């Protein structure tokens, strides 16, 4: 198969003036990456430029592939911006030929010579100098050589800036753009020791933007931002109401901002961890809950704590792993939590605490309602006594006329319109019985 060389000469013009394409070594002097909670990163760069007076086409290289072309910004300066665009790195040979329609194509062997008019079904349609149409099959054109890819196609991502400067430019310029497919979350390790807890957190960054990114500063925005097209969602993991002034200055409008001022690199297709915080000596409480209506099997172990006072810190959303010494004993998720809000972590189903709920009877009453009778048996094989919170889910208009623990009266607490709570002490090595009636009015 013959090798063919296509001779192509392009002339670019802006307002009738010739434009020089300045392939400048656009070294990034400084780069900050700001990542929000919606897999979008804002990149702000400082670059050095030296331009003579006149029109220029500047190519900013060392750019990630998956930028949002509609949100490229340049700082104000002594220049006029004519256009800002980005190269396309995802293309086919069909795209290349269609972009070259109207150009003069001629090969070395003079087998064809003409203006490319159309590309269709792998065929090139050329108009010869004699006015005839010559059809060339692209399937016969192996090992083709072309001088360059037509704009905006490129092998490497870049931002193209057409500008005019009257007196030239020799200064730094600020360039910003947005990237998708960079995300972050938080992970926490909570180590229980001698009645206190030590909390350690890390930022976890996943980079799938197609390019490794060096940075001099990285910032994480915590909070749920709204994007165009979002519908309202129901968030069932909202933090409990509470308040305390944070000891760290992370407030940023209605968000929280966490900045790490150090050089680093986010490798493409890798997950990177950066230390976030350490909070020592946290007071906590282990509680045991038997949600009788929903979980009629085991007693759940929960850990409660609040970061306030000297430990008042805001915690971005993430996964918390709980450790007893060096052994992991449980894991749960938290939402974005301001200081002063109580955090309740589900740790595990208790091995040594057992429970069983039975409905003993259901009887109609004279006013048309009913009385339901229940028995909850609780067992404790631990070496220490515990307090188990028993929850019963109810509905409608209800009362608890009778409740006993091993035959003695016990208080039924109305937690809310749909929940009854019993706080039951269970001594070590013993089993207790809770009985109660629920009266439903018609």
Give the model's confidence band at 312: pLDDT under 50 very low, under 70 low, under 90 confident, else very high: confident
Helix (H) or strand (E) holding 99: helix 93-99
C-alpha to C-alpha distances, 10 to 104, 114, 124, 158, 372, nearest whole angstrom: 10, 15, 19, 20, 88
Closest-CA residue to 273 (of 255, 260, 256):
260
Beta sheet of 318-324, edge-to-edge order:
270-282, 196-207, 182-193, 318-324, 327-334
318-333 mean pLDDT: 95
What are the residues facing 328 on neighbouring strands? 323
Strand partners, 100: none
Residue 13, pLDDT > 50, answer no
The pLDDT assigned to 203 comes to: 97
Note the pLDDT of residue 95: 72
For residue 203, what is the DSSP state? Answer: E
* Residue 299 CB neighbours (<10 A): 26
Angle at Cα 273 formed by Cα 343 and Cα 205, nearest 5°?
Answer: 85
**Confidence label for 180 from pLDDT (cuts 50, 70 and 90):** confident
Q: How far is it between the farthest Cα atoms of the chain?
A: 112
Q: Which of 43-52, 183-192, 290-299, 340-349 comes out lowest in average pLDDT?
A: 290-299
Measured between alpha carbons, how far is 376 from 15 in angstroms, rounded to an integer? 86
CA dihedral over 74, 79, 81, 84, signed as positive or negative = negative
Which of 14-28, 69-83, 247-261, 333-347 has the lowest average pLDDT?
A: 14-28
Higher-pLDDT residue of 141, 423: 423
pTM: 0.78
Q: Alpha-carbon distance 228 to 234, whole Å?
A: 18
- Asked if residue 97 has pLDDT above 80, the reply is no
Residue 147 — φ and ψ, nearest 5°? Answer: -70, -35
Do residues 126 and 142 touch, judged by C-beta distance below 8 A? no
Architecture of domain 284-305+343-441: Sandwich (2.60)
- For residues 108 and 20, the model is more confident at 108
For residue range 276-286, list pLDDT tens digits in order. Answer: 999 999 999 99
Q: Are 361 and 435 in contact (CB under 8 A)?
A: no
Angle (CA) 278-283-288 rounded to 5° is 120
Over residues 415-422, the mean pLDDT reads 95
More confident residue, 117 or 327: 327
Residue 389 reports pLDDT greater than 90: yes
Q: What stretch(es) of the chain map to CATH 2.60.40?
A: 284-305+343-441
CB under 8 Å to 353, separation ≥6 — which residues?
288, 298, 299, 378, 379, 380, 381, 382, 386, 388, 426
Q: Tell me: the pLDDT tens digits for 197-234?
A: 999 999 999 999 888 999 999 999 998 888 888 776 65
Cα–Cα dist 187/202, whole Å: 5
Please list, in sequence order, all residues whose beta carbon lies within 8 angstroms of the beta carbon of residue 303, skipping any fewer than 6 positions away: 190, 197, 284, 285, 286, 287, 322, 330, 344, 345, 347
What are the pLDDT digits (tens) for 57-85?
A: 888 888 887 888 899 999 878 888 888 88
Q: How far is CA 411 from the centre of its chain?
A: 46
């Amino acid at each position: 198969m013959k090798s063919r060389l296509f001779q192509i000469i392009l002339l670019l013009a802006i307002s009738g003036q010739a434009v020089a394409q300045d392939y400048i070594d656009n070294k990034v002097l400084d780069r900050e990456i700001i990542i929000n909670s919606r897999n979008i990163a804002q990149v702000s760069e400082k670059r050095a430029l030296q331009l003579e007076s006149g029109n220029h086409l500047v190519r900013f290289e060392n750019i990630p592939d998956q930028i949002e072309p509609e949100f490229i910004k340049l700082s104000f300066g002594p220049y006029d911006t004519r256009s800002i665009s980005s190269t396309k790195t995802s293309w086919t040979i069909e795209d290349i030929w269609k972009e070259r329609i109207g150009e003069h194509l001629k090969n070395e062997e003079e087998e064809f010579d003409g203006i490319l008019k159309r590309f269709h079904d792998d065929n090139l349609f050329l108009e010869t100098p004699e006015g005839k149409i010559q059809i060339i099959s692209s399937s016969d054109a192996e090992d083709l050589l072309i001088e360059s890819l037509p704009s905006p196609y490129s092998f490497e991502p870049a931002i193209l800036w057409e500008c005019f400067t009257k007196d030239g430019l020799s200064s730094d310029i600020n360039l910003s753009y947005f990237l998708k497919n960079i995300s972050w979350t938080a992970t926490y390790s909570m180590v229980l020791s001698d009645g206190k807890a030590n909390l350690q957190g890390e930022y976890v960054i996943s980079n799938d933007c197609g390019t490794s990114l060096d940075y001099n500063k990285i910032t994480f925005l915590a909070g749920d931002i709204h994007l165009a097209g979002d519908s309202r969602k129901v968030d069932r993991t909202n933090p409990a109401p509470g308040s305390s002034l944070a000891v760290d200055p992370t407030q940023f409008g209605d968000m929280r901002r966490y900045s790490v001022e150090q050089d680093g690199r986010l490798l493409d297709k890798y997950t990177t961890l950066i230390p976030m915080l350490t909070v020592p000596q946290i007071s906590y409480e282990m509680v045991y809950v038997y949600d009788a209506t929903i979980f009629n099997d085991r007693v759940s172990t929960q850990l409660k704590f609040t970061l306030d006072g000297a430990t008042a810190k805001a915690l971005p959303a993430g996964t918390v792993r709980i450790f007893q010494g060096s052994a992991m004993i449980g894991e749960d998720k938290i939402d974005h939590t301001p200081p002063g809000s109580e955090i309740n972590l589900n740790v595990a189903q208790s091995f040594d605490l057992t429970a069983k709920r039975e409905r003993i009877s259901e009887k109609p009453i004279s006013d048309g309602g009913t009385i339901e009778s229940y028995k909850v048996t609780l067992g404790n094989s631990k070496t220490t006594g515990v307090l188990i919170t028993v929850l019963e889910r109810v509905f409608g208009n209800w009362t608890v006329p009778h409740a006993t623990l091993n035959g003695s009266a016990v208080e039924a607490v109305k937690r809310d319109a749909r929940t009854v709570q019993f706080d039951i002490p269970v001594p070590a090595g013993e089993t207790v019985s809770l009985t109660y009636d629920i009266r439903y009015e018609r």
